[in-house]
Structure 1
Amino acid sequence: MIHLLSGIGFVGFGNAIVNAASTDINKPGILIFGFTFSITLHVFWEVLEYISDCLSHGNAQRWQKVNAAKNHMPEGALQPAGLVDTMNDTICCIVGAGLAVIAWYITVS
Structure 2
Amino acid sequence: DNSLRDAAGAPSCDWPSQLNSLNLSFTGLKQVPKGLPAKLSVLDLSYNRLDRNPSPDELPQVGNLSLKGNPFLDSESHSEKFNSGVVTAGAPSSQAVALSGTLALLLGDRLFV
| TM-score above 0.5 | no
Give TM-score, length-normalised by structure 2. Answer: 0.22
TM-score, normalised on structure 1? 0.22
**Larger strand proportion of the pair:** 2
Work out which structure has the larger RCO, using CA pairs closer than 8 Å and 6 or more positions apart in sequence: 1
Which protein has the larger Cα radius of gyration, Structure 1 or Structure 2? 1
